[in-house]
Amino acid sequence: MKKYILAVIAGIFSMGAMAQTHDHAIGARFGGGNAFGAEFTYQMGLSDVNRLELDLGLTSHSNYNGFSMSGAYHWLFNIEGGFNWYVGPAASIGSWSYKDDTTTKDDGFYLGLGAQGGVEYNFDEIPLQLSVDSRPQIPIGTAYNDFYFGIAFSARYTFGY
């Protein structure tokens, strides 16, 4: 039984052997749902099938401001050509401050742990990567116990191999 489990795990991780990540990619990630919103995003390839992603979100308007920093480790799996899917652990840290025109005020700090997974397409003709993903997270040590889930679209300029 142990050999069967090890063979399945090795098979899953070897599926990504044909995937290829860029050395670097930088761009924007636009979220929805309970996600933070727009983020600056940077990816750094660690190997042909692994990379780190770092995202920084900033928001500010008349009653609300905040920031969010997220990091994820991805395993890449090739579907076909420049089309890949990816998955891996993720974490976020951030803060917010809200005050309306009356006396209502709310602010705080959060830490979220979870995962990130999605699909991407890397164009051969131009240095562009488009992706759709989700980063579901569970808050740790905050007053809010909501499960965070949001779908995001990203566009990144890719460089290096």
- Indicate yes or no: pTM above 0.85: no
Q: Please tell me the chain's helix, strand, coil percentages from 3-state DSSP, rounded to the nearest 5.
A: 10, 60, 25
Tens of pLDDT, residues 98-118: 777 777 777 788 888 999 999
Range of the domain at 73: 2-159
List the one residue out of 71, 144, 76, 75 whose CA is nearest residue 113: 71
Number of domains in the chain: 1
Identify the CATH number of the domain in which residue 20 sits: 2.40.160.20
Tens of pLDDT, residues 56-98: 988 777 777 888 899 999 999 999 999 999 999 999 998 878 7
